[in-house]
Amino acid sequence: MARPRIVAELGRPETPEETAARKAAASERYRSSKTFRNLIAALIVCVGIMAVVYLGVPRGTPADIPEADVPAAAAEAERTAGHGVIVPSAPDEWRVNSAKVEGGEWRVVYAPSTGYVEVTQAFAPPEGWVSRELGGYAPTGTTTIDGIEWDVYDLPSAVDTIDYALATTAGTDTVVIGLAASTDRGAAETVAASLGDQIRTLREELR
């Protein structure tokens, strides 16, 4: 009969209990290592699937949003208002972000190289409307552009991101040119100069 194997660490043969414990520990280590290898393998598979999905889905640049059609929108605004509306003339490089009637106001928003220019024609607004729209501030002066006198609003702080505006009446309506804080103030004069004849015409139509 074979003699029991002497274990070096013990200096004697293992007892049946120690043998069972050693084998159990070895089995546990094997199962743990197998679980870890399985986890790594699963992660590699997941990363591979994600790479295939990412590379396989077709992508392209988003379609450009078309500019607003100011003349067409102005024709619709005139039908809503029952009288003429202003159609600002802006430099070709200015993008037209929007042109629409909303809440009794015809508004065109342009985007120059920086900031934006908002041109609004309010249909028969109540007294004090401009001041309320501009945070309750009063005009800081006046200026005359192409024979039209405009109230100047040099706002001490941005009101809905507008910090400079020109306002004048056109019969019963009111026209406001507002500039964002980052916009060259010369943009307001550019728009105002394009509206002189239209405002004079509206004053005759709506007097």
Rounded Cα–Cα distance for residues 177 and 167 (Å) = 6
pLDDT in tens, 60-91: 444 456 788 999 999 999 999 999 999 999 99
Partners of 98 in the β-ladder: 109
In the chain, % of residues over pLDDT 90: 57
pTM for the model stands at 0.69
Instruction: Give yes or no for residue 42 having a pLDDT over 80.
Output: no
Extents of the domains making up the chain: 6-56, 70-205
pLDDT tens per residue across span 79-122: 999 999 999 999 999 999 999 999 999 999 999 988 999 999 99
Q: Of 80, 71, 186, which is closest to residue 123 (Cα–Cα)?
A: 80
pLDDT of residue 192: 97
Residue 119's DSSP bridge partners are 108, 177
Phi, psi of 170 (to 5 degrees): -135, 80
The pair of structure tokens assigned to 130 is: 């401009």
Q: Tell me, which fold does domain 70-205 have in CATH?
A: Protein Transport Mog1p; Chain A (3.40.1000)
